[in-house]
Structure 1
């Protein structure tokens, strides 16, 4: 889609910028827009601080010098200042970024399949009752843990994102076929994924026993995963899950790490296009980025078994 920059150009002219400077600014905004499309960002007004950091890293990895990228930020600040003046955004996501403060994106430590499976198997659903420490209400806490174990299965087997799990509805479960339909989100595509047999059993138990007890009697909710009193703080749920997972395995850092681990293991078994579909990547380049973990693992094996003396 072509972007009409006429009003933005007029804004810059009124600010006193030269025609050459305006042309450069508009060109840099075009760079951001092309990057945003690859990330499935529908409008630059949706761009966040983290998105600008990602764009800067992308520009640097594409060969742009530090001086050039610093110039990009200067031009982008003008654009977001204009969006503020138009009432399209509340703040400028590029205003606080200093190039020298940008760190390289940290790589995830890829967890072995056995460790992922252990996270599910050892997820605690029982509560240790002690006189010194009670966690009321105990019954509801127990139900929430059973729900969270089912969610953990979707994290470590299907590599689903939090927003994808939160959006799941009852009609998306095709348990007779052992399938689950995942709807498109901002940065992922729709797909249908296979469930493990033990997941099917766990989900059925959750639906018929746990969910009906968590959900208020007069509530009608189509979402698979519900909270007591009709709550909708799914982020809080996933933070509790992450806390338990870290206790099981100290190598667990965040939920993105679990997804990355699942995708890398898929790449060892399936072709690139299949993994692209399973991961919900809208662009194959997103899937290809995970190949670096395979190369890193191969290099580690080479150094382990064939060290350079």
Structure 2
């Protein structure tokens, strides 16, 4: 159990959460009298039924199921087991995250094209103060480059903010995404249409933006919060990401936030490359995280899922 606690610590869980997960795992083995290496879906279902008979609410049962999922993910990572017995077990009646309106890959590409035409090719600076026009145009070029990573690699804004020049391999046309508390590290291919945009940004736009920056940095994207002065062209909107969101909303009113783009990309991956590969590409540590992007009526998609859904 000590190695499991270390596993939870490495995943960034708070001490109180670690204790709750440990209690659930110990209770599971006390009730089912089985060993981790031989645990089956039936054992997990037996334990969930035990909790239900004990009067536990579905929300509490779901928390217990999630705790078990972490434990078997630990065994799976250590190659002690070959599959996670909690996979595809879901509790009915638990309010799930509401999915954003999902855009197709074609719609995302069109969004990027519209952004380029409106804010770069036909950039209108008449309403911008003369001393801010150059920086504003550079900011739009940077935002366009960031947008390509949102719609092709499905990145978090936090991941964009932490990316460095060393993460880009133009020869192999790949980008390396570092691990953080929420996601695993992974290496993803650059989109063919993205490479030219990235080269232009690194060799020209970024160097010009660096002149407005307060310090030398290896960060790929130079954001407005680090720029000299307090009233740069896009800081009045909060920060570079918020300004990008506002720009995109002026193109498509159905956009609510930048997470919606990531949700759309992951949903598309599930449909085109499958759940497992989508999990890797999204950086999700657990299959259940990727399953959240399946359609809301997931219970009706498969007889197998129905069979393993006890409530």
Q: Same fold (TM over 0.5)?
A: yes
> TM-score band (shorter)?
0.5 to 0.7
> Given the superposition, is the C-alpha separation of residues 140 and 193 from structure 1 closer, same or farther in structure 2, using an over 3 Å criterion?
same
2:145 is equivalent to residue 150 of structure 1: yes
2:277 is equivalent to residue 266 of structure 1: no
> Given the superposition, is the C-alpha separation of residues 223 and 129 from structure 1 closer, same or farther in structure 2, using an over 3 Å criterion?
closer
**Which of these residues, 215, 221, 224, is aligned with residue 220 of structure 2?**
224
> Given the superposition, is the C-alpha separation of residues 226 and 294 from structure 1 closer, same or farther in structure 2, using an over 3 Å criterion?
farther
Who is 2:12 aligned against? 41
- The 8 Å contact of residues 224 and 240 in structure 2, kept in 1 or not, is answered as no
TM-score with structure 2 length normalisation?
0.61
Distance 2:227 2:256 in 1: 26
Structure with greater contact order relative to length (CA < 8 Å, sep ≥ 6): 2
Who is 1:176 aligned against? 171
- Following superposition, the deviation at residue 231 of structure 1 comes to 3.5
- Following superposition, the deviation at residue 146 of structure 1 comes to 0.1
Q: Which runs of 4+ in 1 moved over 4 A?
A: 36-39, 44-47, 66-69, 232-235, 293-298
Q: Deviations over 1:198-217 (max 9, x none)?
A: 11100100011100001028
Distance 2:107 2:253 in 1: 11
Who is 1:162 aligned against? 157
- The 8 Å contact of residues 169 and 224 in structure 1, kept in 2 or not, is answered as yes
2:273 is equivalent to residue 278 of structure 1: no
Who is 1:21 aligned against? none
- For 2:155, what is the secondary structure of its paired residue? coil
- For 2:176, what is the secondary structure of its paired residue? strand
> Given the superposition, is the C-alpha separation of residues 111 and 38 from structure 1 closer, same or farther in structure 2, using an over 3 Å criterion?
farther
Map 1:242-257 → 2, pairs under 5 A: 242-257=245-260
TM-score with structure 1 length normalisation?
0.62
> Given the superposition, is the C-alpha separation of residues 191 and 104 from structure 1 closer, same or farther in structure 2, using an over 3 Å criterion?
closer
- Following superposition, the deviation at residue 107 of structure 1 comes to 2.2
- The 8 Å contact of residues 179 and 192 in structure 1, kept in 2 or not, is answered as yes
Q: Output the aligned Cα RMSD.
A: 3.7
- Following superposition, the deviation at residue 251 of structure 1 comes to 1.1
User: Which blocks of at least 5 consecutive residues in structure 1 are unaligned?
Assistant: 4-32, 48-61, 70-102, 299-309
Map 1:79-158 → 2, pairs under 5 A: 105-123=97-115, 124-125=119-120, 126-130=122-126, 133-135=127-129, 136-158=131-153
2:191 is equivalent to residue 196 of structure 1: yes
- For 2:211, what is the secondary structure of its paired residue? coil
